[in-house]
């Protein structure tokens, strides 16, 4: 297939940090790009389950317990007496939502198509996309495919 006969110049499977960077770099050099994500949210494991949530929980504990402010206010300083899991989850969910929003806007600002589907190879340049809502499937072709899972 000639390069002009593909649906996309680049299709990236996965919307984590690596997938985002690959997609944005291609879009910045005027390539037609799509990102396939098998969940309804972008960001991959880093944003949704791993690095961002775990670091945010740690920071929330340090903040709510007053640990960081004790050097200034004294050893008994606490922001909140009874820290609950709900206190921690509220902050974590706010940060995750913010990071997802940033990732989505970066992709859309660069005119990258976001497709919520599970991808499987038909051949080296063709993917079958099964939409996550189970309604349909379709095939797309690309000159290049990056697996960023």
Domain covering 3-147 in this structure, CATH number? 3.50.50.60
Contacts of 88 (CB under 8 A, 6+ apart): 57, 60, 61, 64
**Whether 46 contacts 16, CB under 8 Å:** yes
Which among 42, 21, 43, 46 is positioned nearest to 33, based on CA atoms? 21
When mean pLDDT is compared across 17-26, 70-79, 82-91, 98-107, the lowest value belongs to 70-79
Domain boundaries, the chain: 3-147
Which among 131, 130, 127 is positioned nearest to 139, based on CA atoms? 127
**Whether 42 contacts 104, CB under 8 Å:** yes
What pLDDT does residue 84 have? Answer: 80
Angle (nearest 5°) at CA 86 between 62 and 80: 45
What pLDDT does residue 85 have? Answer: 81
pLDDT in tens, 41-92: 777 666 666 777 788 878 877 777 766 666 666 666 556 667 788 888 888 8
**In a 10 Å sphere around its CB, with 0-12 CB exposed, 13-18 middle and 19+ buried, how is residue 27 labelled?**
buried
**Whether 57 contacts 93, CB under 8 Å:** no
Q: Quick one: which H or E segment has residue 114?
A: strand 113-123
| pTM of the complete model | 0.77
Angle between helix 85-109 and helix 17-28 axes, rounded to 10 deg? 20
Overall residue count recorded for the chain in this entry: 149
């Amino acid at each position: 297939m000639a390069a002009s006969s593909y649906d996309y110049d680049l299709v990236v499977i996965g919307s984590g940090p690596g997938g985002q960077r690959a997609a944005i770099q291609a879009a910045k050099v005027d390539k037609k790009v799509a990102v396939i994500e098998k969940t309804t949210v972008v960001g991959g494991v880093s944003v949704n389950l791993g690095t961002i949530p775990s670091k945010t929980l740690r920071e929330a504990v340090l903040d709510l317990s007053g640990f960081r402010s004790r050097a200034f206010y004294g050893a008994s300083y606490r922001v909140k007496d009874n820290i609950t899991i709900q206190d921690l989850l509220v902050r974590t969910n706010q940060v995750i939502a913010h990071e997802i929003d940033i990732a989505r806007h970066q992709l859309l600002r660069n005119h990258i198509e976001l497709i919520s589907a599970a991808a499987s190879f038909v051949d080296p340049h063709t993917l079958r996309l099964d939409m996550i809502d189970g309604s349909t499937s379709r095939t797309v072709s690309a000159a290049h495919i990056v697996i960023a899972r």
